[in-house]
Structure 1
């Protein structure tokens, strides 16, 4: 049963909803939790559920996503049969129209069922129980929910997906979701409630709030475990170096960093430098950023390769974190408006 399902990841979420973090990358490729990308979670969940063929449909810009996924080796999807497929979505409105551009992929597939998912749900979910319910209850469409709300993940037969694609102009359905939500549809709709940790990231606030939850041991342990690992692109980095004057509490520090200041309740990605006398509180600092000496950062999200000059003060709030775009150089005091 595990190998009878095809994975489809819809990575066409509008970049505008994620603000500056998606200005130069697909939302699926946004870095998360020190070493991952958002797409790693749903992709790993599919692989852990026995899915061996996954198609990703991204919208431009997608170079960062392609670089991260590569051949799919880190998810054991670089295989001669099935594997990872990357289908850049054309500039067409409607999920089903975008899938129709690559209908030959579905026509060649030998799986009986399809899991269609968004790209930004952070969870560690086994999809097999959902598929078992779909089959046992003889559903046409199954919607996965969390706390009674849809998480935009659906299971249906491959033949029905092909029918929805071919009949989209007659039915007016633009997506699988439309078919589920239409009360006049002829389909039997079932639901599967997922009770574990799940956060759907649709905004900067969602991203910041979910990231801070990763610093809570209980939530972290629900998301990361040895039995259902979350895979990501492997990078070799030296251990992080802490100076004698550094002070770190309740934080996540990735490899390759150099910490000479204070870090509290924050997430620090790979190869970040924190200078002497600097204080980082409740913040997210992405890869290869450099914070000079005697800086203050509170409720801040620094994208990759940001340079914060000596003495700069950056302040946001928990409700509106200050986001600094990739490659910026910050020379003075900045606060969220």
Structure 2
């Protein structure tokens, strides 16, 4: 393809509460066997983008470990490949990334040493499938300076945590508000952009000279009347996991047959790092209904409308309802978990009771069997 890829995966998000204390948002487990960043990486690979940079920063240990081998997304190649960049102290700079534009600026050599004419920028916390070739062709046909991939969400959705856009009949963006208090539109930015590589270098360098650091506020919003910025609407499934509620809802969406069929059975595929684990084991007395149970898990109790990640042990007479159990959790006998997200590597003692009565409850026991 005529583009290189940049995945922004460095930010912290307090709205994920306890879930972001030991991992980056892009490393959050999704749908039983995947990480959030797998969707952007798979889209890059399926769009034949052969050279991709992942910009990591906050709590990047597990994310870097996940990205340690590029073969899973077919980036293990002689030309191109997968590059992981973290903030680096140099003679000229000792800053952490101060924003998305600053993250690109600190790795500007990656852009300057590339030869592809276009850049696809994506965030690491989006759950979707998209052929970036379609966006690029649209970008070229519109003679756009920047193309923003947009999604129209239902009116009942909370759009105040997104960038909200207004477009004219030709899909040119006339208004762009980042996380407005009151939203005037239900069309949001998905955090995916296409831009010419030389123009991106020029805009990022100008931002750095003016001590500006945010790609959305200091480029998209600031230049919306000076540059030709267009929106590309997608109609298929798209979700962002930037809050506990959104993360819970996204995982629960995978219990719907049509969502599972779209991601797991329709081409192109979503890829992830593979662990050699045995299939899930259901012992006598196990009762599982409408749930995703990942490999390496052992079930002895009742599991309903839940997503269980890898290596989860459910003890005797346990009840798990409407919950998400992350990797390597041990649930002791007679435990009741309902409307909860249980943090990975936790040991929940026997006879425990957790129920999210006012929304989703995040369960974190301070008795890990071993460190992350």
TM-score (norm 2): 0.84
Q: Which residue of 1 aligns with 2:92?
A: none
Correspondence for 1:157 among 181, 184, 196: 196
Counterpart position of 1:213: 253
Contact 1:154 1:176 in 2 (8 A): no
Secondary structure of the equivalent of 2:149? strand
Matches within 5 A, 1:56-205: 56-89=54-87, 90-147=95-152, 148-169=187-208, 174-178=213-217, 179-182=219-222, 185-205=225-245
CA 1:86–1:48: 2 relative to 1, 3 Å:
same
Structure 1 match to 2:51: 53
Contact 1:305 1:326 (8 Å CA) reproduced: no
Within the candidate set 279, 287, 290, 1:250 is matched to 290
Pairs within 5 Å for 1:281-292: 281-292=321-332
Q: How far apart are residue 207 of structure 1 and its match? A: 0.2
Q: Equivalent residue for 1:306?
A: 346
Q: After superposition, what is the alpha-carbon deviation per residue over 1:169-219, rounded to whole angstroms, capped at 9, x for unaligned?
A: 456653332322236642111110011000011111110011111101112
Return the alpha-carbon distance in structure 2 between the equivalents of residues 283 and 106 of structure 1: 43
Q: Which runs of 5+ in 2 are unaligned?
A: 88-94, 153-186
1:62, CA displacement in angstroms?
Answer: 0.5
Q: Which moved more, 1:62-71 or 1:96-105?
A: 96-105
Unmatched runs of 5 consecutive residues or more in structure 1: 330-337
- SS in structure 2 of the partner of residue 224 of structure 1: helix
Distance across 1 between alignment mates of 2:83 and 2:223: 33
- Give distance in 1, aligned partners of 2:208 and 2:77: 36
Q: CA deviation at 1:24?
A: 1.0
Relative to 1, partners in 2 of residues 1:114 and 1:183: Cα closer, same or farther, differing over 3 Å? closer
CA distance in structure 1 between the partners assigned to 2:288 and 2:329 by the alignment: 18
Question: Are 1:11 and 1:57, in contact at CA under 8 Å, matched by a contact in 2?
Answer: yes
- Distance in 2, matches of 1:88 and 1:320, equals 35
Distance in 1 separating the partners of 2:73 and 2:366: 29
Alignment correspondent of 1:333: none
Q: Per-residue deviation at 1:41?
A: 0.6
Q: Distance in 2 between matches of 1:100 and 1:152?
A: 18
Distance in 1 (alpha carbons) for counterparts of 2:261 and 2:302? 26
> Could you tell me whether the CA contact under 8 Å between 1:96 and 1:164 is conserved in 2?
no
Query: How far apart are residue 324 of structure 1 and its match?
Result: 2.2
What is the alpha-carbon distance in structure 2 between the residues aligned to residue 166 and residue 321 of structure 1? Answer: 43
Shift of 1:153: 1.1
Change (3 A) 1:215 1:21: same
Aligned-partner SS, 2:327: coil
Q: Is the 8 A contact 2:332 2:348 kept in 1?
A: yes
SS in 2 for 1:106: helix
> Deviations along 1:56-111, whole A, 9 cap, x unmatched?
11113101001111131100112222110111135132222221212111111111
Question: CA shift at 1:220, angstroms?
Answer: 2.0
Secondary structure at the aligned position of 2:334 is classed as coil
> Separation in 2 of the partners of 1:104 and 1:119?
21
Structure 1 vs Structure 2 CA RMSD: 1.8
- How many aligned positions are there? 327
